[in-house]
Structure 1
Amino acid sequence: MNFSRIYAFVLNPWVVIGSLALGGALGLALPEASQKLALIGDIYVGLLKMTTLPFMISAVIFSLQRLFRDGGASRLLVRVVGVFAGASAIVALVGAAVLLVLHPGANLSSATMQAFGLMIGNDPAAGDTTMNLYGADTPPTSLSFSDVLTSLVPTNIFAALASGDALKTLVFALLFGLAVGRVPERISTGLSQSLETIYHACQKLMHWLSYPLPLILICMSAAQLGKSGVGPLHAMLQFVVAFFVASAVLVVLAAAIIWKRSTHGLGATLDALRAPFALALATRNSAACMPSMIESLVDGLGFARARVELLVPLTVSLLRVGPMVYYVCATLFIAQLYGHTLGVVEVATVLLASVLAGFASAGMTGLVTVSLVGMTCAYLRLPFEAAFILFLAVDPLCDMLRTLILVIGNAAAVAVICPRPLKI
């Protein structure tokens, strides 16, 4: 049996899209039965998450150790800071440009406003829509810079591992890796071999878990649409379309950057990115995509393994480009929804606040990530609580796009930081 062909088939983008469409049709046709399929998706994502932390720890510590042996750590740090700043600015500007051009929250139809009122207040009366959307809200709380710094410190690494706190685990791995890099090689050889074994074992396990991907996609999409239906998606259609446009622009831009940084043709570059692309849509978990990102950049495109294995966990955990562009789009949509006119200074404030909120979202997933929109809205004094349910209704789809931007965007960031591979 040719397993390489099977692997290529299950990760084909058209197979991924077709599986999602088939699952969605099943969820709409048999909603009650489809909701039971959510268990399969939960088990699958749980299996992927199971390997995330050991993979990240082994990759970061082992890569830092090799980095110090090879030299160039200070130059690499300067490039990392520069790329982080540039990538954050680009995604924020693209998100703002798309929302300001498309204006998805302005001039909505009365039917859409009535749907908003029903979703927010659960009241069939259309006259209550204005009250629910424009009523008084509790002032949103925002995270302070000191809170963000405190959340980075792993006071108990075993507690962080037990709770699955990826950010604190990453901080520990970075500090421990720096220390191991200064230990003489004759002493640290045993640890290096053990970490390399864990790394390759986790990567192999993730490879095996890719084979049932089409079936998993059918089950997950069927369960989601069977539960929520298309009503929430229709009401928030204009926002979803605008966010999709911003996501498509950024993914295309990231793919172009990877293509230009590699020595391969466009077709070979896109073929190498199939695995992380498919897993991002399937799992909605960027950490679970790290092994496939490393495999694509190293084996598929020829970037240096030592750099890639260090930078992929670092960028995925800290450079949260997906949430950043989402916060820009969501905040501007809410401003348009409430008729809040934004000047140049206010738009710049949204961009800066969204970037900060993106870094603050490190280690957060799902609805916790969405809740940080309140942090950006606080700077413009926009009532986010009333609109929160709107974003919850379409978050499964938006979460897929956020993860896709984060995975492909961070692959581009790693390609920029790493030296260009030699031509074969």
Structure 2
Amino acid sequence: MNSSKIYALAVNPWAVIGSLAMGGAFGLLLPELSQKFSIIGDIYVNLLKMTTLPFMVSAVIFSLQRLFRDGGTSRLLLRVVTVFIGASATVAVVGALVLLVMRPGMNLSSATMHTFGMMVGNDTTSNETVMNLYGTDAAAKGVNLYDVLTSLVPTNIFAALANGDALKALVFALLFGLAVGRVPERISVGLSQALETVYHACQKLMHWLSYPLPLILFCMSAAQLGKSGVGPLHAMLQFVIAFFVVSLLLVALAAVVIWKRSSHSLGQTLDALRAPFALALATRNSAACMPSMIESLVDGLGFARARVELMVPLTVSLLRVGPMVYYVCATLFIAQLYGHPLGIVEVSTVLLASVLAGFASAGMTGLVTVSLIGMTCVYLSLPFEAAFILFLAVDPLCDMLRTLILVIGNTAAVTVICPRPLKI
């Protein structure tokens, strides 16, 4: 079996789902042994993160340089803004409609409510945890435009790179790329070749790291369920089901958009999306999926490399459609859980606050991303403190779905921003 067949098997969706299922079963049967597998998943994700910033910086600078030589930068900016607004509104409305129709937070059984109470009550450090997280949330709520703008500009690009601050690195790459684009080609040719070398080397590393995906997924799934068990999933089952339905609808919509924008058949389009789909589920890290997104759009679907290499890092960093729809669903679920009335004004407030919180989540991961639900709950005076531990319990699964929405959704956004490929 040659390397291309092994790669195709490793990123096959059925192999991904099967590995997750077998790992989960193993984690439930042998929880103590399974928890030791977590180190494998940690090392794998760190290897992927290792290439993220060099890849993003080199791709953006190199692409901007080529864009300036090709022309059309002003028209592209208007298209980017339009797509950002349209995509944000779409995911927020779809999430709200599903939650209002399914109503996962209403008419819960007494056993489920008892489980909620046990989980909140058994968190002996919950008050301290919430105070710490709300210290961060309160600062985020009080941030004005001046604070936001100054926080985006790196005072030291090397410190930003060392700290893994993707948003500041992106700002530097955009400004530096604009400047390099104005430098005569005879002077900048050496830098262009160096950046192209870094870009292709990082892409090759990502490709190699895709081969052990089934094994990595098995270990990560086993470690997670071995640690948490199925109790949290039972308690939040209705929310997880509702969020899964939202994710399925949005991923399907994104796939249709990509299909219609490409010059390929539906089967060829879905085949090209296998690698970013698998990596999104495996890594739960959207930045780590950027090389596979670019490879799928350029090599698989024929979009122009210069545009794609610029738009993928930009959308992944700024167009946070996954967190946006998650905040909508979580806030409406908490409102239903506490019997808060939801009229047109309340739902509209949740949609707007969730979109803003989504943009605020740029560069954030893990607990900080979940804690930003408090930014949306405060507008409806909802007690997010008590519900935080519930969302924390199922966040590994929700994080997987958030990343999938972000990766496939942003892939669709890039296809709308970029010109259609020529039909073969």
The residue correspondences of 1:183-202 to structure 2 (distance < 5 A) are: 183-202=183-202
What one-letter code is carried by the residue in structure 1 that aligns with 2:256?
A
Deviation larger for 142-151 or 262-271: 142-151
- Indicate the residue corresponding to 1:84 in structure 2: 84
Shift of 1:123: 8.4
Distance change (3 Å), C-alpha of 1:373 and 1:30: same
- Code of the residue aligned with 2:196 in structure 1: it is E
Q: Secondary structure at the match of 1:51?
A: helix
The equivalences for 1:342-361 within 5 A come to 342-361=342-361
CA pair 123-151 structure 1, distance change in 2 beyond 3 A: closer
Counterpart of 1:362?
Answer: 362
The equivalent residue for 2:284 is: 284
Q: Which amino acid aligns with 2:165?
A: D
Structure 1 residue 6 and structure 2 residue 6: aligned? yes
Code of the residue aligned with 2:18 in structure 1: it is G
Asked if 1:22 is matched to 2:27, the reply is no
Residue 382 (structure 1) aligns with: 382
Question: 1:143–1:375: 8 Å Cα contact kept in structure 2?
Answer: no
CA distance in 2, matches of 1:231, 1:221: 15
Alignment of 1:111-150 (within 5 A): 111-122=111-122, 141=138, 142-146=141-145, 147-150=147-150
Kindly indicate whether residue 137 of structure 2 is the aligned counterpart of residue 109 of structure 1. Answer: no
Q: Whole-Å Cα distance in 1 between the matches of residues 216 and 339 of structure 2?
A: 42
1:170-202 CA-to-partner distances (Å, cap 9, x unmatched) read: 111011111111111111100000000000000
Matches within 5 A, 1:11-410: 11-122=11-122, 141=138, 142-146=141-145, 147-410=147-410
Shift of 1:378: 1.1
CA drift of 1:122 comes to 1.3
One-letter amino acid of the counterpart of residue 58, structure 2: S
Per-residue CA distance 1:218-241 (angstroms, 9 max, x = gap)? 000000000000000110000000
Contact kept? 1:148, 1:360, Cα under 8 Å: no
- Structure 2: runs of 5 or more not aligned: 125-133
Deviations 1:191-217 (A, max 9, x none): 000000000000000000000000000
Separation in 1 of the partners of 2:87 and 2:23?
A: 34
Partners of 1:263 and 1:145 lie apart in 2 by: 44
What count of residue pairs does the alignment treat as equivalent? 412
User: Are the equivalent residues in 2 in contact too, given 1:98–1:246 (CA < 8 A)?
Assistant: yes
CA distance in 1, matches of 2:63, 2:373: 35
How many Å separate the matches in 1 of 2:80 and 2:198? 26
- Structure 2 Cα separation of the partners of residues 379 and 367 of structure 1: 21
Distance 2:266 2:277 in 1: 15
Letter in 1 for 2:8: A
Report the Cα distance in structure 2 between the residues aligned to 1:263 and 1:289, rounded to whole angstroms: 23
Q: Distance in 2 between matches of 1:218 and 1:150?
A: 42
What is aligned with 1:133?
none
Contact 1:117 1:123 in 2 (8 A): no
Report how far residue 151 of structure 1 moved.
2.3
Alignment match, 1:423: 423
| 1:250 and 1:405 in contact (8 A); partners too | yes
SS of corresponding position for 2:299: helix
Give the whole-Å Cα distance in 2 for the aligned partners of 1:342 and 1:162.
45
CA–CA distance in structure 1, aligned partners of residues 369 and 187 of structure 2: 42
Please give the alpha-carbon distance, in whole angstroms, between the structure 2 residues aligned to 1:227 and 1:149. 40
Output the amino acid matched with 1:401: L
Shift in Å, 1:148: 2.9
Q: Which amino acid aligns with 1:144?
A: V
Q: Secondary structure at the match of 2:382?
A: coil
Q: CA shift at 1:143, angstroms?
A: 4.7
Secondary structure of residue in 1 paired with 2:394: helix
The answer for unaligned runs of 5 or more in structure 1 is: 125-137
What is the distance in 1 between the residues matched to 2:191 and 2:385?
49
CA contact (8 A) 1:64 1:181 kept: yes
State the Cα distance separating 1:156 from its structure 2 match. Answer: 1.3
Which residue matches 1:128? none
Inter-CA distance 25–14: structure 2 relative to 1 (3 Å threshold): same
Could you say which residue in structure 1 is the equivalent of 2:131? none
User: 1: CA distance between counterparts of 2:315 and 2:387?
Assistant: 31
Shift of 1:55: 0.2
Cα-to-partner distance string for 1:363-387 (whole Å, 9 max, x where unaligned): 0011111110000111111111111
Q: Give 2:151's aligned amino acid.
A: S
Distance 2:392 2:160 in 1: 27
Structure 2 CA distance for aligned equivalents of residues 143 and 355 of structure 1: 17
- Give the distance between the partners of 1:148 and 1:116, measured in 2 at CA: 36
In the aligned structure 2, how far is the partner of 1:324 from the partner of 1:422? Answer: 33
How far apart are the structure 2 equivalents of 1:384 and 1:123? 15
Following TM superposition, by how much is the alpha carbon of 1:149 offset from its aligned partner in structure 2, in angstroms?
2.6
C-alpha distance in structure 1 between counterparts of 2:148 and 2:112, whole Å: 38
Map of 2:130 onto structure 1: none
Instruction: Give the CA RMSD over aligned residues.
Output: 1.4
SS of residue in 2 equivalent to 1:293: helix
Quote the Cα distance in structure 1 between the aligned partners of 2:377 and 2:24: 33
SS of 1:179's equivalent in the other structure is helix
How far does the alpha carbon of each residue in 1:43-80 deviate from its partner, in whole angstroms, 9 at most, with x for none? 00000000000000000000000000000000000000
Measure, in 1, the Cα distance between the counterparts of 2:416 and 2:3. Answer: 32
